[in-house]
Amino acid sequence: MTPSVVASSPSNPLKTHEVARPRPANVGLKSLEQAKHRAGEALSRAIHFAGLTGKEAAGLLDIDPAQLSRWVNGTEAIQIARILNCPRLHGPFVIALAGEADGIVVDTVITVRRTA
């Protein structure tokens, strides 16, 4: 974090109450927008994995389909707590997010056990 007061030097002493110019607040916004887009893609895959339509997923999440669309498109940040509170989407969403992480490979294994 940058200091809020300009550092003094012997050749340039500080004047009383001289402060540094603030930096723009949009530092890091590009990476935030990219993260929202990637999270939206993960949510879209989770909905698909769960075999749901957008309207069904919105109903389970107790949100408007338009809001779900904004989440999926990355124009609005996802409310993670809603997804974690939805049993049909929780697991698929976590798996989809894990697939986004560098260095992680997600394997889906189906095991069939027969009982006699």
Could you write out the DSSP letters of every residue in 24-90?
Answer: PTTTTHHHHHHHHHHHHHHHHHHHHHTT--HHHHHHHHTS-HHHHHHHHHTSS---HHHHHT-HHHH
User: What pLDDT is recorded for position 19?
Assistant: 58
Q: How far apart, in whole angstroms, are the C-alpha atoms of residue 108 and residue 110?
A: 7
The domain locations on the chain are 29-100
Give the residue among 59, 31, 40 at the shortest CA–CA distance from 97: 40
- Superfamily (CATH) of domain 29-100: lambda repressor-like DNA-binding domains (1.10.260.40)
pTM for the whole structure: 0.68
Give the residue among 92, 96, 106, 81 at the shortest CA–CA distance from 52: 92
Query: Does residue 4 or residue 100 have the better pLDDT?
Result: 100
Residues 65-100 have pLDDT tens digits of 999 999 999 999 999 999 999 999 999 999 999 988
Q: How far apart, in whole angstroms, are the C-alpha atoms of residue 33 and residue 37?
A: 6
Residues 35-63 have pLDDT tens digits of 999 999 999 999 999 999 999 999 999 99
Which residue type occupies 94? Answer: V
